[in-house]
Structures are given as structure tokens and as C-alpha cells.
Amino acid sequence: MRDFSQDHSALALNTATLGHNLDGYGAGWSPERVIDACAARGYGGIVFWRREIGTRAFEIGERVRAAGMQVAGLCRTPYLTGREAGNDEEIQASIEMASALGASVLTIVTGGTETGTLGLKESRKRLTDRVARHAEYARQSNVKLALEPLNPMFGGNRTCLFTVRDALEICTDIDAPNVGIAVDVYHVWWDRTLPETLQDAQGRVFGYHLCDWLEDTSHMLLDRGMMGDGVADLKAIRRGVEDAGYDGLCEVEIFSAATWWKRPPEEVLDVAVERFRTVC
């Protein structure tokens, strides 16, 4: 397992950690200010959200690289299933944005269950069909698609994948080299089968997302913990991810409306570095 105690160049910032993915939260920094602040602190990369990018994907990507960092990813495709699913043109546009940014990975949060269906079978079939349909275009655009399973409490309206095993089954069905998974601590920390499942994920882990699960969490979406403030076994999860062949950036992604989004962004960035070196 990699030793981060003296080197945090493998740390990436997901800009949601500063509140940038929801209106009314955070300090409202521009992408340029975020880039400069991360570069000054030795971050290795940044993950943006589509709403921040607009028509400036190439420009922002170039700014990141000029600062000595990577665009580690883009969040996210429109939903692919459920009542809020986007159309094929919107999905293709998200792939094109990732490509213009130079982002190596485009995250997929699947969306919920298909209207009028019961259980998960039909939703997962539609998900498989839609990812497969866009995988070749993504490959040609040099973009990897990472299916992100979510904590079961998000079932119904946000996801039809709850475990890494669920996501890997979709990858197996599609069998495309650029379709893999993203492992987010917040969503997988509870899964006792995770170590065994990750043994079957060789070469399929495209992203690793850091945060913590607070013992007394107050909001299912907007109360994630900073690493070390909760009950997730961070090093054990990373060991499993790295044993599956992942050696990329570790992306801190903290939705925290009542705590971290109210603090100065400089403080949040500094604390994330310290926790990465000591507890991750």
C-alpha cells in the first residue's frame, strides 16, 4: 500500500468539498481560484462538476495542467435510469465535456428505478443497455466511464446499484475496457463483502473517493465527514482498492452543508491534506 505520510501528491480535490455543486453553498470561488489554491498546496489533481464548466472545458483543463496537476475526473453523466434520466444527447455531451477537459474519468451515478417497474431487474437492464451504447463513443474520446454504486439509502431515486458487486456485474455484462467502477468510502464502508469483491475488480477501479461516515450523521446527502472524523476504516478500504490495481489519485469529496461548506476554503483544503497524510 502506498505511503502518503510524507507525500500528498496523490490527493485530488472534488470541488463539491468546497460546496461548488449546489447553489447557495460555499465561498463561490471560480475554477481558476480553486486551481491556484490546490496547486499552491501540492494537490495532484482536481475533479470538477459539469455545472462549473459550461463552455470553458478546454480552457479550464489547460489551466489545471499548466498548474502542474491533472483533471482527475468529471462529475457526472446525467442519470441513465429512472424518471429523471437524461437523453442520449445529454449523455454524449457529458462525454464530450470530459474529453475537452482532458478528464480521464467520467463518473456515472445511475439514477433511480424505472417508472412503472418493481425491483431492480428492469432498471439494471436499461442501465446496461445505455452504458454499452455510449461506451464506444467514450473510448474514442479517451474517456473512461466509472459506475459508482451508492449507499442503499439512495435507492429508488438516485441509484439502482448499491454495492461494488452490483457495479462489477454491469461491467462484466458490457465487457468494454473503458467501463469500470468508482469506489466511494461514503457508499461502501458498511459492506462486509467489500474486501472479497474488490479481489474480483482487477483493472476495473477507475476512481477512489475519500470522506468519512459520521456516527451521528444528520443528513443522508449533505453530512459527510472529513476523513478521520467518522467510523469508516479508511486504510482497509484503500488497501482493497490498491490490491485491485488502482494506483491513481485519491479524490476527497465531502458534502457537508452544516460544517465544512461553512468554513473558509483555505482551511478545508489544508485540513484535507493533513488528514490524507495521517489517516487515509
State how far the Cα of 126 lies from the Cα of 13, in Å rounded to an integer: 32
Bridge partners (DSSP) listed for residue 225: 212
CATH number at residue 232: 3.20.20.150
Asked whether residue 78 is assigned to any structural domain, the reply reads yes
Given a cut of 90, is residue 45 above it in pLDDT?
A: yes
Q: Residue 223: which domain range?
A: 11-279
Reported as a single tens digit per residue, the pLDDT across 5-24 is 999 999 999 999 999 878 88
Q: Residue 11: name the closest of 254, 258, 199 by CA.
A: 254
Look at residue 3 and tell me if it is in a domain. Answer: no
Looking at residue 261, what is its pLDDT? 96
Predicted pLDDT at 260? 97
The whole model's pTM is what? 0.97
Per-residue pLDDT tens for 258-272?
999 999 999 999 999
Report the distance separating Cα 113 and Cα 155, nearest Å.
8
Query: Helix H segments across the chain?
Result: 31-40, 50-53, 57-66, 88-101, 121-140, 164-174, 185-188, 194-198, 234-243, 265-279
Query: In angstroms, rounded to a whole number, what is the distance separating the alpha carbons of residues 280 and 277?
Result: 7
- Residue 74 domain-assigned? yes
Q: Is the per-residue pLDDT at 124 higher than 80?
A: yes
The predicted structure's pLDDT at residue 235: 98
Question: What's the pLDDT at 208?
Answer: 98
Rg (CA), the chain: 17
Query: What digits encode the pLDDT tens for the residues 147-184?
Result: 999 999 999 899 999 999 999 999 999 999 999 999 99
Q: Is residue 201 part of a domain?
A: yes
pLDDT > 70: what percent of the chain?
A: 100
Q: What is the pLDDT of residue 255?
A: 97
How much is the pLDDT for 23?
84
Q: Looking at the domain assignment, is residue 16 inside a domain?
A: yes
pLDDT of residue 73: 98
pLDDT tens digits along 225-249: 999 999 999 999 999 999 999 999 9
1 located within any domain:
no
> Mean pLDDT across the stretch 72-88?
96
Supply the pLDDT for residue 26.
86
| Within-domain flag for 2 | no
Phi, psi of 132 (to 5 degrees): -60, -40
What pLDDT is attached to residue 78?
Answer: 97
Helix (H, G, I), strand (E, B) or coil at 144: strand
- pLDDT of 83 above 80: yes
The verdict on residue 27 lying in a domain is: yes
* pLDDT for position 240: 98
Q: What integer best gives the mean pLDDT of the chain?
A: 97
Structural domains in the chain (count): 1
Specify the pLDDT at position 24: 86
Cell numbers at residue 237, please?
Answer: 478500504
Grid cell of 120 as nine digits: 431492480
Using the predicted structure, report yes or no on whether residue 273 has a pLDDT greater than 90: yes
